[in-house]
Amino acid sequence: MQENVGIIIENDRGELLMQLRDEFVKYFPNRWVLFGGAIEKGETPKQAILREIKEEIGLDLEKVRFLKRYLYNGKIKQYFFYKKLNINLKNIRLNEGKSIAFFCKEDIKKLDLGFNIKEVLENFYNKKGMSLFPISLKS
């Protein structure tokens, strides 16, 4: 079974840090995603997300909060984490992907998202008492 990790990084303005994948990746090229990747043999999910963040944007995170585990088709297991973090993107070295940016909830709705990011973010906002993609009710 394939196991992956991901992280939602949120700043004090409620914006989320996202990565634009480049055109050379196998899955979801040129789409916006959260940071993360595969769990390597012998790693815990927490160790994996700390390594992935270091590899992808050069950040040494110490503490992250576990949010939720997802299982897809019995084949892919994902562990998502959360970190509140204020960083200046000018100080970030992007090692993977095409671009990096913070987005507010309204801007996230307009992005072309990859993987299951829409579901992950909808769950994240629901726990905050908000909805990313509210259902419109017709009378």
Does residue 82 register a pLDDT over 60? Answer: yes
138 or 18, which is more confident = 18
Q: Which domains does the chain possess?
A: 2-127 (3.90.79.10)
How far is 94 from 55, CA to CA, in rounded Å? 9
In this predicted structure, what is the pLDDT of residue 135? 57
Q: How far is CA 43 from CA 13, 38, 39, 58, in A?
A: 33, 10, 6, 19
**How many CA atoms does the CB half-sphere of 101 hold within 13 Å?**
12
Q: What is the pLDDT of residues 2-16, one digit of tens each?
A: 899 999 999 999 999
Angle subtended at Cα 80 by Cα 119 and Cα 1, rounded to the nearest 5 degrees: 90
Q: What is the pLDDT of residues 17-32, one digit of tens each?
A: 999 999 999 999 999 9
How far is 110 from 128, CA to CA, in rounded Å? 20
Please state the pTM of the whole predicted model: 0.92
**Percent of residues, the chain, with pLDDT higher than 90:** 85
